[in-house]
Amino acid sequence: MSTLEIDRVRKTYGNLEVLKEVSISIGTGDFLVLLGPSGCGKSTLLSMIAGLENISDGEVRIAGKVVNELSPKDRDIAMVFQSYALYPTMTVRQNIEFGMKIRGVPPAQRDKAARSAADLLQITHLLDRKPSQLSGGQRQRVAMGRAIVRQPKLFLFDEPLSNLDAKLRVDMRTEIKRLHARLGTTIVYVTHDQIEAMTLATRVAVMKGGVVQQLDDPQTVYDRPGNVYVAKFVGSPSMNIIPGRIEVEGTTATAIVDVANRPAARIPGIGLSSQAASTYANRKVLIGIRPELFSVGNGQAQGAISVDVDVVEPTGPDTLAVFQLGGVEVTARLPPKQVNARSSATLAVDTSKVVLFDQDSEELIN
Amino acid sequence: MNAAKSFSSRLAGWLPRIVVAPSLLIVIVTVYLFILWTGVISFTSSKFVPVYDFAGLEQFIRLWATPRWHTAVANLFIFSALFLMLSTGIGLLMAILLDQNIRAEGFLRAVYLYPMALSFIVTGTAWKWIMNPGLGIQKVVNELGWTSFTFDWITDPKMAIYTVVIAGVWQSSGFAMAIFLAGLRGIDNSVIKAAQIEGASLPLIYRQIIIPMLRPAMLSVIVLLSYIAIKSFDLVLALTNGGPGSATELPSTFMFSATFRRNQMGVGAASAIMMLMTVAAIIIPYLYSELRERNNG
Amino acid sequence: MANALSQQKPTVESISRQNRIRIGRLFIYGPLAVMAVLYLMPLWVMVVTSLKPLDEIYGGSFIGLPQTVTLDAWRSAWSQACIGTECTGLRPYFVNSLLMVIPAVVLSTGIGAINGYILTKWRFPGANFVFGLLLFGCFLPYQAILIPMARTLGLLGLAGSIPGLVFVHVAYGICFTTLFFRNYFVSLPDELTKAAMVDGAGFFRIFWSVILPTSIPIIVVSCIWQFTQIWNDFLFGVSFTSGGNSPITVALNNIVNVTTGRKQYNVDMAAAMIAAIPTLLVYIVAGRYFVRGLTAGAVKG
Ligand SMILES: Nc1ncnc2c1ncn2[C@@H]1O[C@H](COP(=O)(O)OP(=O)(O)O)[C@@H](O)[C@H]1O
Ligand SMILES: [Mg+2]
């Protein structure tokens, strides 16, 4: 168990800069999720923490100790790979014991450790099978078993669930969360799946193009995304980003959005810092509204907006209504059967959670 | 301590290169340096042993003034062209027929391919016997009643090169079949189904869709068979020993006999360089495209 | 790698089922059967001729069954036939070929395996170039190196010897075996080596404990390919050895080309069979792997 500091780390392949000055720091027992689309450099960063890739520039410190020059085996880490990377010719038991064997752990102790890891993961009955005789979920457990027996300072997971089918993925997610709660080991976990990030993480680093966009706890990332990119990447359906204008009164803003064939909609009561209030008064901004902030309102309430609904998509628990607002397509998550396609509707907005972004930099306005 | 650590980790970093180095050294010497060496000899007046003077293009001029070399080059063209066409055609036909979900496919495949496991010397010995005009096919057919039938190509200077083609095709068409069959098995089923739904007939599907999709396999077959043709040596030696006279001489046998039998090392080296350039002209573009595709894919 | 041949994957079965009527099948089986007969004929001729007494050969048809079966020709080819002036039969040359082929196969396969491992799992700058250098060696027309190799073997004191031939076969065999192993290891996930590194295994440990155990099929392919190539080689044998050190192909060619006296075709055929049996056996026992070796470089996978 330990802290992890990634300090202005860069990675270049020849002229290609894959990671640009990444700095992330987490405490003991944290569960850090590196979240981003494919190709943004997550695996590269993880491999650098593991010692499988050279660090071009900057420092990685595990438990306060610089590990740049250490080989993987000396970093006191364990890693679970996307393809599980089980040794195909070894049995489950041999897979789990391989690392200990190399480190010269005596057989009796190896056996004990393998057994307790297998117990923890409920794979004791599989110990004598070969990886080819296991299902995807079982392989996943073996890969975790192989990591657990090391009792490392740091667990590294590279998209461990993305080869599983949807149902199993949810089950294993819960399992990993339980495991973290039980062992308390610091974890770095790579995924492109924002739901995994939200459910597992204590800290989320959203990445894009080799740059960390935001590092925060998951709820903050969701509620107050640092920029439009993060806002759109986290959450499904993603946050609506609507061009508009704000009028300011004290530290409260009213957003004004054009609606086709109707008077402009006014969304009052958005909180602002006094500095932002003076900077952005009467300026164009991007207004971020999560789909679930909409509700079906009545025409008299303040801040109610009237829209023409194009499409409704029932999902079961709710219905997604799609309409035009401020010249863009907007999705609202509403209770079932409240609005109809090709008809008008009056919606209210929970303005306490509406966020504003700068029109040019697309950064969050505080 | 820090220095020691970085030394051992640097050593670990170099280990793969250190381990691969001896192989690389052997190949650089025995392939590239030796080619260069042969090239050097081809510009000297070496006869029985190499002498390192400079004779300019003398050996190349002498080579191209040798009628035997002309025969060898002409034979190479005849042999390669026929060998390639027949092996490719027969191989493709057999692959397509074998791909019709037939019974005993494994057995037939094994039968077509076993000649590939034989030495060309064995093949040559067997076919020399079969095509022996006194005792072989000719005699059998004559005894069956067709008394005017003659099959004496192997002793006829005009026809002898075709016996080399026959034996070569027998040995290598199974190889073409194997590559084509692998290509056919790699074609996505749904493409064929789609064409079928459009109402295309089977011959049409083969002509218009499947055979064009075999292009990579076709390229491989042609390149590899050309290579086999150019280096054919043992087959000719065992079947006709280059004869009758020099009727079945090929560049490969020419090089060998010039160097080791006629003490014309310079001419031998010059002919080897000619062979090498021919192979390189075919192989290097092929390898280049293969490697590039592989990197992209 | 193209192991497609070994998998019975139906491709156009549905088409053939629909479009083909029984008569159509005749046009498929007919040519295939004719070809099969043509392909088997030389082997048949070799076997029956080798079992006939010489008189029957000069009297009867070369293709018919022997009236009297005798193993005399085999006996003679194995232990009596004259190669040059030595009438020892093929036996000592068979032994020469074994002494040549076994170390050459083991060495070239081992070296190819570790080269393939390095070129895929420990890639260094220029690794692709190194691979390209080796790859061209597969297509080298050996005439281009005969003279320098003969000189070099002389300088090394290996001229005309079996160790010299082993060296030659290993040197040029490395190109093929590296290609085989490289193409096989490319398809093994890199994460396997990474996992082993995290587990603390080093360069050789990963090769020995993780990579090699997964490579049995390609080891077999490489051994079979090398065995066939080296056993069947004639050019190196005839160029770099002489007299009693020759491999079997050279001895066979000598027997067959003897021009004195009445030609003993039955002995020729028995000798050819003896030279062919080891590779034919390998082919029969492990034909699947043989095909994979043949198509390894040719079809991408
Ligand atoms: N060995 C390499 N050489 C050159 N570029 C690489 C190499 N490895 C990864 N990359 C590039 O680095 C980027 C990040 O890769 P990766 O970390 O695997 O992304 P992620 O895991 O986020 O999908 C990609 O654009 C990839 O093409
Ligand atoms: Mg990745």
Give me the domains of chain B, ranges plus CATH numbers.
67-296 (1.10.3720.10)
CA distance A289 to A353: 8
Residues C124 and C17 in one domain: no
pLDDT confidence bin for C162, thresholds 50/70/90: very high
Residue C301 has pLDDT above 50, yes or no: no
- The total domain count for chain C is 2
Mean pLDDT of chain A: 91
> How far is CA A145 from each of CA A102, A121, A155, C194, C209, rounded to the nearest angstrom?
17, 7, 12, 17, 19
Residues C16 and C121 in one domain: no
Interface of B with C in 171-200 (CB under 8 A): 174-175, 178-179, 181-187, 189, 192-193, 196
Q: Whose CA is nearest to atom 10 of ligand 1?
A: A18
Per-residue pLDDT, A328: 93
Average pLDDT over residues A288-303: 82
Residue B84 has pLDDT above 90, yes or no: yes
Residues C109 and C36 in one domain: no
Q: Which residue is associated with the tokens 């010269």?
A: A104
Architecture in CATH for domain A4-233: 3-Layer(aba) Sandwich (3.40)
Average pLDDT over residues C70-80: 85
Look at residue C55 and tell me if it is in a domain.
no
> Would you give the DSSP letter of residue C145?
G
pLDDT (tens digit, 9 = 90+) per residue, B217-272? 888 888 778 878 887 888 888 888 877 878 888 999 999 999 888 888 889 999 99
Q: Is C269 exposed, middle or buried (0-12, 13-18, 19+ CB in 10 A)?
A: buried
pTM for the predicted model, two decimal places:
0.86
Residue A5 has pLDDT above 80, yes or no: yes
pLDDT (tens digit, 9 = 90+) per residue, A234-279? 998 999 999 999 998 888 888 899 887 788 888 888 888 888 888 8
Q: Which chains touch C (3 or more CB pairs under 8 A)?
A: A, B
Q: What percent of chain A has pLDDT over 90?
A: 70
Q: Return the higher-pLDDT residue of A306 and A34.
A: A34
Q: Whose CA is nearest to atom 14 of ligand 1?
A: A41
Look at residue C33 and tell me if it is in a domain.
yes
Yes or no, beta carbons of A79 and C195 under 8 Å apart: yes
Per-residue pLDDT, C2: 37
Per-residue pLDDT, A302: 67
Q: How far is A71 from chain B (nearest CA, A)?
A: 8
Hey, which of A44-53, B235-244, B276-285 has the most confident mean pLDDT?
A: A44-53
Residue B30 has pLDDT above 60, yes or no: yes
The complex's ipTM? Answer: 0.87
Residue A321 has pLDDT above 90, yes or no: yes
pLDDT confidence bin for C9, thresholds 50/70/90: very low
Q: Which residues of B touch C280 (CB under 8 A)?
A: 114, 117-118
> Would you give the DSSP letter of residue C262?
S
pLDDT confidence bin for A142, thresholds 50/70/90: very high
CATH number of A240-365: 2.40.50.140
pLDDT (tens digit, 9 = 90+) per residue, B129-177? 888 887 778 877 887 778 777 787 888 888 888 999 999 999 999 889 9
In chain B, the residue whose alpha carbon lies closest to the alpha carbon of C282 is B117
C228 inside 8 A of chain B by CB: yes
Q: Which residues of C11-34 are buried (b: 16+ CB within 10 A; e: fewer)?
A: bbeebbeeeeeeeeeeebbeebee
Q: Whose CA is nearest to atom 24 of ligand 1?
A: A39
Hey, which of A269-273, C73-77, C245-249 has the most confident mean pLDDT?
A: C245-249
CA of A22 to the centre of ligand 2 (A): 17
Residues C263 and C163 in one domain: yes
Nearest to A87 among C192, C197, C198 (CB): C192
pLDDT (tens digit, 9 = 90+) per residue, A208-230? 999 999 999 999 999 999 999 99
The pair of structure tokens assigned to A136 is 């995807």
C259 inside 8 A of chain B by CB: no
Cβ A365 vs Cβ A358: under 8 Å: yes
CA of A50 to the centre of ligand 2 (A): 14
Q: Among the residues of chain A, which ranges form H helices?
A: 42-50, 92-102, 107-121, 136-148, 166-183, 194-200, 218-223, 228-233, 274-280
Q: Which residues of B touch C136 (CB under 8 A)?
A: 31, 283-284, 287
Output the domain CATH number for residue C190. Answer: 1.10.3720.10
Q: Which residues of B touch A55 (CB under 8 A)?
A: none
- State residue B236 phi and psi, 5-degree precision: -65, -45
Q: Return the higher-pLDDT residue of C120 and A366.
A: C120
pLDDT confidence bin for B31, thresholds 50/70/90: very high
Per-residue pLDDT, C266: 86
C213 inside 8 A of chain A by CB: yes
Hey, which of A286-290, B120-124, C175-179 has the most confident mean pLDDT?
A: A286-290
Per-residue pLDDT, C93: 93
Look at residue C83 and tell me if it is in a domain.
no
Cβ A146 vs Cβ A160: under 8 Å: no
Domain ranges of chain A: 4-233, 240-365
Q: Which chains touch A (3 or more CB pairs under 8 A)?
A: B, C
Provide the number of CB pairs (under 8 Å) joining chain A to chain B.
Answer: 6
Residue B83 has pLDDT above 90, yes or no: yes
Q: Which residues of B touch A71 (CB under 8 A)?
A: 9, 12
pLDDT confidence bin for B2, thresholds 50/70/90: very low
Which of the residue ranges B22-26, C76-80, C107-111, C261-265 would you say has the lowest mean pLDDT? C261-265
Residue A87 has pLDDT above 60, yes or no: yes
**What SS3 class is residue A157?**
strand
Yes or no, beta carbons of B179 and C20 under 8 Å apart: no
Residue A333 has pLDDT above 90, yes or no: yes
Cβ A354 vs Cβ A270: under 8 Å: yes
B16 inside 8 A of chain C by CB: yes
Yes or no, beta carbons of C194 and A83 under 8 Å apart: no
Look at residue C301 and tell me if it is in a domain.
no
C154 inside 8 A of chain B by CB: no
Per-residue pLDDT, C17: 52
pLDDT (tens digit, 9 = 90+) per residue, A92-108? 999 999 999 999 999 99
Which of the residue ranges C115-124, C210-219, C284-293 would you say has the lowest mean pLDDT? C284-293
A43, A55, A81: residue to mutate for ligand 1 pocket, most atoms within 8 A of CB: A43
Look at residue C30 and tell me if it is in a domain.
yes
- No. of H helices and E strands in chain B? 15, 0
Residues C40 and C124 in one domain: no
Q: Which domain holds residue C32?
A: 2-50
Provide residues with CB under 6 Å of ligand 1: A 13, 16, 18, 36, 38-44
Q: What percent of chain A has pLDDT over 70?
A: 98
In chain B, the residue whose alpha carbon lies closest to the alpha carbon of A51 is B9
Q: Which chains touch B (3 or more CB pairs under 8 A)?
A: A, C
CA B92 to chain centre: 17
Which of the residue ranges A222-236, A250-264, A348-362, C190-204 would you say has the lowest mean pLDDT? A250-264
**At residue A126, what is the residue type?**
L
pLDDT confidence bin for C5, thresholds 50/70/90: very low
**At residue B193, what is the residue type?**
K
Q: How far is A86 from chain C (nearest CA, A)?
A: 7
B274 inside 8 A of chain C by CB: no
CA distance B227 to B142: 38
Interface with chain A: mutation pick from B1, B2, B5, B8, highest number of A CBs within 10 Å: B5
Question: Quick one: which of A348, A202, A360, A364 has its CA closest to A288?
Answer: A364
CA distance A32 to A46: 11
Residues C45 and C105 in one domain: no
Which distant-in-sequence residues (6+ apart) come within 8 Å of A141 by Cβ? A121, A122, A123
